[in-house]
């Protein structure tokens, strides 16, 4: 589960943010007085923060997200592109203390059309359908683990291990993270793979349980 603390902006702060970031959202116009805004600090960026802007005239979900610092921003669109773009400009700070919160942030805000990788560390973080039974809940709970830093491998990539739900299955997987721009030789492909700073990759996936009674998220829409 993502660990972020959002602070609500007051009316003056919201008005300034909307004016300063209007070009980022164009052609969408976020209207003063009808938009609420919140902000959260991110430990892996010095200046960029995460903003949540909600159109209060619409039913839930009604929130757009943006990585922004004064004069520079990227509106989130559930792909990795806005994050990777900010990683280059910020630049991102990737080390032992920031890699886990970055991984949680990344997989929360990157949601593929074919499915979403949901990091789950504790039983209460698993969303169940009403027909889920006690045994499968216990089986999942017994296999969950916190996102764990494993070190920097011989490939110079930071490695973490996590349990994730993908569609209706639980997996254990390694998460590879590039602390700087590099080329990494992939022995399976027999070729080098280029990583930008902050780029993520899942490897060594192990299926733990399948056919779970959990909701499968639809493809992402405009709001979250």
User: pTM of the full predicted structure?
Assistant: 0.95
Residue 171 located in a structural domain: yes
CB 100 within 8 A of CB 44: no
Q: Along the 224 residues of the chain, how does pLDDT read in single tens digits? A: 788 999 999 999 999 999 999 999 999 999 999 999 999 999 999 999 999 999 999 999 999 999 999 999 999 999 999 999 999 999 999 999 999 999 999 999 999 888 899 999 999 999 999 999 999 999 999 999 999 999 999 999 999 999 999 999 999 999 999 999 999 988 777 889 999 999 999 999 999 999 999 999 899 999 98
| Other C-beta atoms lying within 10 Å of the C-beta of residue 151 | 8
Alpha carbon 4 to its chain's center:
11
Q: Which domain holds residue 190?
A: 99-209
Residue 46 located in a structural domain: yes
The verdict on 119 and 61 lying in the same domain is: no
The verdict on 105 and 71 lying in the same domain is: no
Point out which residues pair with 37 in neighbouring strands: 53
The verdict on 194 and 154 lying in the same domain is: yes
Total count of domains within the chain: 2
Residue 60 token pair:
């839930």
Name the region of 74 (left: φ>0; alpha: ψ -120 to 50; beta: rest): beta
> Considering Cα of 119, then 122, then 123, then 128, what sign does the dihedral take?
negative
CA pair distance 87, 178, nearest whole angstrom? 11
CA pair distance 67, 41, nearest whole angstrom? 10
């Amino acid at each position: 589960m993502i660990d972020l603390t959002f602070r609500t902006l007051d009316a003056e702060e919201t008005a300034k943010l909307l004016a300063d970031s209007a070009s980022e959202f164009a052609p969408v116009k976020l209207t003063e007085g009808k938009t609420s805004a919140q902000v959260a600090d991110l430990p892996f960026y010095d200046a960029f923060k995460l903003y949540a802007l909600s159109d209060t005239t619409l039913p839930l979900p009604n929130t757009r997200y943006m990585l922004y610092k004064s004069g520079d921003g990227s509106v989130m669109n559930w792909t990795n592109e806005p994050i990777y773009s900010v990683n280059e400009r910020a630049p991102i700070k990737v080390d032992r203390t920031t890699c886990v919160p970055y991984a949680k942030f990344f997989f929360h805000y990157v949601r593929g059309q074919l499915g979403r990788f949901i990091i789950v560390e504790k039983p209460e973080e698993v969303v169940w359908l009403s027909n889920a039974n006690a045994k499968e809940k216990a089986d999942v709970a017994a296999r969950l683990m916190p996102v764990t830093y494993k070190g920097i491998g011989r490939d110079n990539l930071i490695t973490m291990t996590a349990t994730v739900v993908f569609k209706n299955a639980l997996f254990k997987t390694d998460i590879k993270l590039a602390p700087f721009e590099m080329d990494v030789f992939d022995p399976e492909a027999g070729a080098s793979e280029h990583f930008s700073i902050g780029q993520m990759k899942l490897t060594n996936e192990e299926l733990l349980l399948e056919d779970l009674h959990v909701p499968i998220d639809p493809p992402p829409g405009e709001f979250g």
